[in-house]
Amino acid sequence: MLIRLISGLISQDAPRSRVLTALLLAVLAALLAAPFLLPGTRPLNVAAKVAVFIVLVASYDLLLGYTGIVSFAHTMFFGIGGYGVGIAAAKWGTGWGPLAAGVALAVALAIALALVIGLLSLRVRAIFFAMITLAVASFFQILASQWSAFTGGEDGINFKLPAVFSPGNRLLETPLLGADINGRTLAYYVVVLGALALFLALLRIVNSPFGRVLQAIRENEFRAEALGYRTVVYRSVANGIAAVGAAAAGVLYALWLRYTGPATTLSFDIMIDILLMAVIGGMGTLYGAVLGAAIFVVAQNYLQDLMKLASGALEGWPLLPALLHPDRWLLWLGVLFIVCVYYFPNGIVGKLRRG
Amino acid sequence: MSAVMQGNEGAGAAAVPANRFDWRPLAILAAIMLGAAPFIGSLPTWVTLTVAGLAMGMMIFIMASGLTLVFGLMDVLNFAHGAFISVGAYAGVSVLIALKVSLLATGADSTLWSNLAALVPALLAAMAASGALGWFFERVVIRPVYGDHLKQILVTMGGLIVCEQLIDVLWGPDQIPVPVPWTLTGAFTFGDIAVERYRVFAVVVGAAVFLALWLILSRTRLGLLIRAGVENREMVESLGYRIRRLFVGVFVAGSALAGLGGMMWGMYQGSVTPPMGMQVLVVVFIVVIIGGLGSVGGCFVGALLAGLLANYTGYVLPKLALGSNILLMVLVLLWRPRGLYPVGKA
Amino acid sequence: MADAVSNPLLTLAGVHTHIGQYHILQGVDFTVARGGLTMLLGRNGAGKTTCLRTVMGLWRASRGTIHCDGRDITRAATPELAHYGVAYVPENMGIFAGLTVRENMLLAARQGPPDDQRLEWIFGLFPAMKKFWNGLAGNLSGGQKQMLAVSRAIVEPRALLLVDEPTKGLAPAMVAAMIEAFRELKSTGTTLLVVEQNFHFARSLGDDVAVMDSGRIVHAGAMAALAADEALQTRLLGLSLEAHQ
């Protein structure tokens, strides 16, 4: 009975590997228990970021892994979500009304832009599409950082949320299991549960007939067309769904940070990070996004400390300190990324499933 | 050559279609140059902006020309082209710095010849370094994923990241100022009008590269092969040519050009930074798209358009300037969806 | 006329070709007699083009062998085939639209600029080539492009010519010119393997014929025999292929 319930929740897309299931459950447990397991602002920030990026990367995997499209505009939609919340809060004040309006507008804009880009560019070859998304995303980034009156420019927008989310709002007078339960905790659970819901929704979508058509198109576009599926339409819809996913992730992230700005959402570095997470975790699996995001964000925050230690210890050696310098962690991830593209196209998840 | 085979040379670079030369894009270029004048107001400013625009355009052309040929001929999307640009710049600048120390080649009391003695090796070093990197990339990184566009994009993107990080490791993450040879600094003055020497140099080099490419493509057998290969690889193979070897050659040449362009760009900006290749890559891609994949002539016109527009809007409508390239791309694609001078693919 | 089965120029034995998951050629066996013109007929989708492309190495045979003049060319790379004297005129003509007629011919002449006599002969067969010598190949009419494709293939002497539907879409006058050209080619000793749908063309030129259906050869023999047997023609080729006069 319970098995059936869980199976339904994950849309019958089972992990198919004991190790993978264990890892996924571990991530889920860690996220749900974070306020109690790891008190302090930094661990909680890391956990919230993991949750947000799981959704961001999973929605990207829908495009990359399931539909076979490379787009560089994903961070643009991430930013649209964040800015929707930020601008609404800045212009219309804190409150549930403005918040809802901001989210709705962000989602609407994301869908509209995605469909426009999709219909215009998906008629062309993959190369064109990739470059055009790159150009559009960089245009958007320029727009956001230049249009200071509206978007806060380079500095972004700091804003307040409804009072219920504020740290001062003590939900429980005494700490529970060693942690203060206040508005921030509430915000955290909104983010994590929201991310979980979005992830399960994406699972449902890729395992639906629609999702199967996407995979057919990825495998052999001509055949899909011959079978009667208008590939341009399917690809555009996939684009739209991915955009909404990214925007939703953006909304969650803005809610957590109480801030939105070009550096946290629109930067090309983030786009690269998404790509790395998706490929290393495993393209076309969605669970790859969970592992990829978890490993990446945790490593980004804690591995760099390790690298600093190692780099210091190797002081005096010719190249090694520079290679192990914490700022160079992207080098190693880049190498891992390339290795994955060649040898492990389904990333960690693929390796676990085969093993 | 036999009597029959002679006869008027068809001027047919795939870039510049023979028999009915398509002058419209060039007319647009001229129109923009003239049309900007009233908005700018003063002649000296117009001259400065135009020369700056042409210089910028030429450098972008040098960087983009290799990419468009590789695209057109091999159907390979190479994001690592940005790495070729950066590596070339860094290699060339390193040579320039080394020579400056030993030859005093860039001080105010240097001569034209001593400056050239420093500059030429630096430019050659830039081309050699990126050419070598290109050869490595073609063999090791790209060859395994021929035909798979998705993997190509991913793998070359990864290569770009790794290369940028390696530049950080080898040269450090901070920007390195470029000791530009003294004869290239300063400006020529004609009354009110000042024309920066370096910009003239850039225009000369760019024009020379374009001329060289055009001549090779239209007058040599190699050029014939490349033009035919861009249209229909299979047929060229059926005629008995081992097109793979051609690929490698074109790829390496394209990478070397990227390095040259990168070096010129570095000198223009006065400094080099690790992400410089990645930063200029967007403009390079836009220019390649505007020109038409595989068209050197289109790339040339597109690059000049982009450079001019960026400078004109920078003066007339500064808020628009950063996005001017993207707007240009949208407008050109609306007019000619396959680029200014599309190369037919059979 | 030709040394028949005893000394074939081209032999296919048990050739299978897979394109992706599609099994197109399912065991093709036939020979092409030296110095003769063999017609490859069959309905659309029977696998005729795939056959030529497999011989040319553009698609790889998954099983079987192909021999040309005693040499095993099953695994040969496409450029090598030109060195063995094989020329290919594909279905879509494969001319380079952005190059002039002259440049197209120059490219095909691997051993150096073509000699005047040869060119004069080609101009005699296809006068349009001389007329549009410096014109862009892309500006030629469909029929002229076809002629260019054939001219290009014969700019140097070849041992074997593989031609895919040379008369497709051609006006009757041009078909006649094509027939004339092929006749002259045959007389120079070139072996030809021609895929055709136009039975009149096939009948006037072919010495031997092979008929394909669903990836296999279902009939092979002398053209004269097939031409005389109307019932057999109908059975093999269907009424739609009856004399396109």
Beta-carbon separation of A338 and B71 below 8 A: no
pLDDT tens string A139-183: 888 888 888 878 788 888 888 888 777 777 777 777 777 677 777
* CB pair distance less than 8 Å for C114 and B232: no
| Best B73, B74, B165, B333 residue to mutate vs chain A (most A CBs within 10 Å) | B165
Domains in chain A: boundaries: 44-283
Say whether residue A96 is in contact with chain B using an 8 A CB cutoff: no
Q: Scanning every residue of chain B, which has its alpha carbon at the shortest distance from the alpha carbon of C153? A: B239
Nearest to B158 among A138, A327, A338 (CB): A338
The answer as to whether C243 is a domain residue is no
Q: Are residues C142 and C217 both part of a single domain?
A: no
Best-predicted range by mean pLDDT among A316-320, C23-27, C232-236?
A: C23-27
Percent of chain C with pLDDT over 70: 94
| pLDDT of C2 over the 60 cut | no
Taking CB atoms and an 8 Å cutoff, what residues of chain A touch B153?
A: 70, 126-127, 130
Nearest CA in chain B to C56: B238
Please judge whether B161 and A272 are an interchain contact, meaning their C-beta atoms are less than 8 angstroms apart: yes
CB contact under 8 A, C107 and B243: no
| Domain stop point among C157, C181, C211 | C157
pLDDT at B177 over 60: yes
Shared domain check, C169 and C52:
yes
Same-domain check for residues C39 and C106: no
Residue where one domain finishes, among candidates C132, C157, C182 = C157
* Cβ–Cβ below 8 Å for C113 and B1: yes
User: Residues 27..66 of C with a Cβ closer than 8 Å to B: which?
Assistant: 56, 58
C152 in a domain, yes or no? yes
- Rounded to the nearest angstrom, the minimum Cα separation between B187 and chain A is 32
How many domains are there within chain C? Answer: 2
pLDDT tier at C1 (50, 70, 90 boundaries)? very low
**Structure tokens, B236:** 């060229």
- Please compute the mean of the pLDDT values over residues C93-108 and round it to a whole number: 90
Residues C172 and C150 in one domain: no
Q: C82 and chain B: CB distance < 8 Å anywhere? A: yes
For residue B109, the model assigns a pLDDT of: 57
Interface contact flag, A143 B323, Cβ < 8 Å? yes
Secondary structure (3-state) at C99: coil
Cross-chain CB nearest to B168 (options A328, A337, A341): A328
Between A311 and A112, where is the model more confident? A112
CA distance linking residue A53 with residue A195, whole number of Å: 9
Determine, yes or no, domain membership for C18: yes
The string of pLDDT tens digits covering residues B160-176 is 999 999 998 888 888 88
Q: Which of C53, C96, C110 to mutate to test the interface with B (most CBs of B within 10 A)?
A: C96
Chain A residue numbers with beta carbons less than 8 Å from the beta carbon of B169 are 319, 322-323, 325, 328, 331
CATH of the domain at C53: 3.40.50.300
Task: Write the pLDDT tens digit of every residue in A183-204.
Answer: 788 889 999 999 999 999 999 9
For residues C5 and C124, state if they share a domain.
no
Asked whether residue C223 carries a pLDDT value surpassing 90, the answer given is no
Using a CB-CB cut-off of 8 Å, the residues of chain B touching A278 are none
Within this chain, do residues C222 and C130 fall inside the same structural domain, yes or no? Answer: no
How many Å lie between the alpha carbon of C136 and the closest alpha carbon of chain B?
7
| pLDDT score recorded for residue A122 | 63
Cβ of C136 under 8 Å from any chain B Cβ? yes
Task: Please give the residue that has the higher pLDDT: either B125 or B189.
Answer: B125
Min Cα distance B151 → chain A (Å) is 7
- Cross-chain Cβ contact B154/A319 below 8 Å: no
Q: Are A233 and A224 in contact, with CB atoms under 8 Å apart?
A: no
- Contacts for A124 with CB less than 8 Å, ≥ 6 apart: A132
Tokens standing for residue A256: 């957590």
Write out the residues of chain B at the interface with chain C, using a CB-CB cutoff of 8 A.
1-5, 7-8, 10, 12, 14, 17-19, 221, 224-225, 227-228, 230-232, 234-243, 343-344, 346
b vs e for A263-280, b when ≥16 Cβ sit within 10 Å of the residue's Cβ? ebbbebebbbbbbbbbbb
Q: Domain boundary at C157, C173, C205, which?
A: C157
pLDDT tens digits, B297-343: 999 999 999 999 998 888 888 777 778 888 888 888 878 878 888 77
DSSP assignment string, C13-51: EEEEEEETTEEEEEEEEEEEETTSEEEEEE-TTSSHHHH
* Interface confidence (ipTM) of the complex: 0.88
> Is the torsion defined by CA of B113, B118, B122, B125 positive or negative?
positive
CA distance B165 to chain A (A): 5
The answer on C113 and C43 residing in a single domain is no
Q: What subunits touch chain B, counting only 3 or more CB pairs under 8 A?
A: A, C
- Looking at the fold, whether C144 and C165 belong to one and the same domain comes out as no
Rounded to whole angstroms, how far apart are CA atoms C119 and C99?
18
Q: How close is the nearest chain C Cα to the Cα of B230, in Å? A: 9
Written as six digits, the tokens of B138 are: 């073609």
* Nearest chain A alpha carbon to B71: A127
Q: Which residue of A has its CA nearest to B78?
A: A127
Q: Which residues of B touch C88 (CB under 8 A)?
A: 238
Provide the pLDDT confidence category of residue A355 given band limits of 50, 70 and 90.
Answer: low
Please name the member of A131, A146, A325 whose beta carbon is closest to the beta carbon of B289: A131
CATH T-level topology, domain B40-335: ABC transporter involved in vitamin B12 uptake, BtuC (1.10.3470)
pLDDT of residue B4: 43
Domain presence at residue C138: yes
- What's the pLDDT score for residue B13? 34
Shared domain check, C38 and C124: no
Say yes or no: C50 and C166 in one domain: yes
* Interval A82-88 mean pLDDT: 90
Residues of B in contact with C56 (CB under 8 A): 238
- Give the whole-angstrom CA distance, residue B160 versus residue B165: 9
Rounded to the nearest integer, the mean pLDDT of chain C is 85
The answer to whether the Cβ–Cβ distance between B325 and A323 falls below 8 Å is no
Domain ranges, ordered by start, for chain B: 40-335
pLDDT exceeds 90 at position C188: no
Do residues A340 and A7 lie in contact, with contact meaning Cβ atoms separated by under 8 Å?
Answer: no
The angle formed by the CA atoms of residues A102, A107 and A111, to the nearest 5 degrees, is: 150
Of A134, A328, A345, the CB nearest to B169: A328
Give the model confidence (pLDDT) of B198-257 as tens digits: 899 899 999 999 999 999 998 898 999 998 988 888 999 999 999 888 889 999 999 999
A315: three-class secondary structure by DSSP: coil
Chain A residues in contact with B282 (beta carbon < 8 A)? 134-135, 138
The secondary structure element, H or E, covering residue C213 is strand C208-213
Is C244 part of any domain? no
Q: How far apart are CA A344 and CA A350, in angstroms?
A: 7
- Top residue of C100, C122, C140, C163 to mutate, by most chain B CBs within 10 Å, is C100
Mean pLDDT calculated for residue range C138-145: 88
Domain extent for C146: 95-157
Stretch among B131-145, B304-318, C179-193, C223-237 having the lowest mean pLDDT: C223-237
Rg (CA), chain A: 21
